[in-house]
Chain A
Amino acid sequence: MTLLAFGLYRSVVSSSGTPPFSACDDGVVARAVAAAAPGESPAAETELYRRFAPRVRLFGLKHLSDRGAADDLAQQVMLVVITRLRAGEIREPDQIGSFVLGTSRMMVAGQRRGERRRAAIIARFAPDEGTVEAAYDVALDSTRLAPCVAALRERERSIVLLTYYADKSATEIAAAIGSTAGAVRVSRHRALASIRECIEARRAS
């Protein structure tokens, strides 16, 4: 099926020059990068970057706890991934997601060991990412979020503040407000669901 899809991709490219990569599986996009001469499949590379750079950034945010470092990680990992795809070094392009995750894990582990940053790779192989949104809009618009947080019940508001602002665990929060860790988690889920609904409702109105 993927070969068929790739064949379709080739035929669409040849007929219109505009491959519909956004509608393709990850594997199709990865194989398009691998099949082309280096730098000859900018649309596929851009699509791969668009899909995976945000995920690497999130992974970096979780493990490096720094938005700048997470942005750097996303760029470094995607450069390695695209470079290795171009070189035909990825044996299973259909598993590109796993490969990107594995590369992310290795790089974070490397950074933690104090490994040198890969600035030289970036300088040498940096693809043109001018068409890609490199940094996402981090925080929600406070004018939309504030009334939704204000609408929470006191207990839920305390829990989300302690979780996402003071970075406390459910166990610590339970001790602080006289509850149990399980009840804190339930309240947190409920609070987040309320906030999302509230934001959607305000967007719709």
Chain B
Amino acid sequence: MTTTGTACPSFGELAEYWTSDITPADAERIEAHAFTCERCARMLEEADRLRAGIAALARSGSVQAFVTDAVLNQLARDGVRVRYYALNPGESVQCAVWSDDDVLVTRLRGDFTGVDTVDAELRLDSGDEWSNATGIPVPAGATELVMALPAALVRTAPQIPIRLTLRASGGNQQVLAEYVFNHEGALERAPSSNDRG
């Protein structure tokens, strides 16, 4: 049990402590409070666990998301094995996931002029939807979106073409671009001569 003379910050405020946005004055205020309030100290710890968990999840290549180069750079620094593809609208690519891949990244190039969010739909050649994402933010002037998929997820995809369609969010759902992944499945690397006994 501890006592405190100041009002408890919200969880959101405490979570800000773990971001680079916190000002030194606010950090000091939160520290002064947390050292006299066990409840808030526990919440501060919970916020730390949450951010550590999110980082660990990203580092493990388990997050499916549209990302930026900042995330890709961090993946590279962390030694995450990333396989890259780049596609222009209307293009298709022969693709596969190898046993040592962690993440598959595709740069989806296109003309996103006047669009601030898009929806993405991944549909199997059979017509079944495989995955979708809505409300993907598009910064002004963007010429590509970067899609990251966990390799573990891609390994479960059937070996048939998968069509990705990007549409403008809301309103008329105008199709912006389509891309085709000719998925060749999960591949094992043949052991090198050095691996053979």
Interface residues of A (CB under 8 A from B): 22-26, 51-52, 54-55, 58-59, 61-62, 97-98, 100-101, 136-142, 145-146, 149-150, 153-155, 157-158, 160-172, 175-179, 181, 185, 188-189, 192-193, 195-196
Contact = CB atoms under 8 A, between A and B. Distances in A.
Nearest to A105: B31
A166 B70 contact: yes
27 contacts: A23-B1, A25-B2, A26-B2, A54-B41, A55-B35, A58-B45, A59-B31, A138-B49, A140-B52, A150-B64, A153-B134, A154-B134, A154-B135, A154-B137, A155-B135, A155-B136, A161-B63, A162-B70, A164-B50, A165-B71, A166-B68, A167-B20, A169-B19, A176-B70, A177-B139, A185-B21, A192-B12
A181 B23 CA distance: 14
Interface string B29-59: 0011011101001001111111111111111
Given A154-B136, A178-B140, A142 B56 contact: yes
Report whether over half of chain A's contact residues are helix, strand or loop; otherwise say mixed.
helix
Nearest to A23: B1
Interface residues of B, number: 59
B70 A178 contact: no
B62 interface: yes
B175 interface: no
**Highest count of chain A CB atoms <10 Å: which of B54, B55, B62, B67:** B54
Given A142-B57, A145-B57, A137 B17 contact: no
A161 B63 CA distance: 9
Given A55-B44, A155-B136, A157-B63, 9 more contacts: A24-B1, A141-B53, A142-B56, A149-B63, A157-B65, A160-B54, A161-B67, A168-B20, A189-B12
Interface string B135-149: 111111010000000
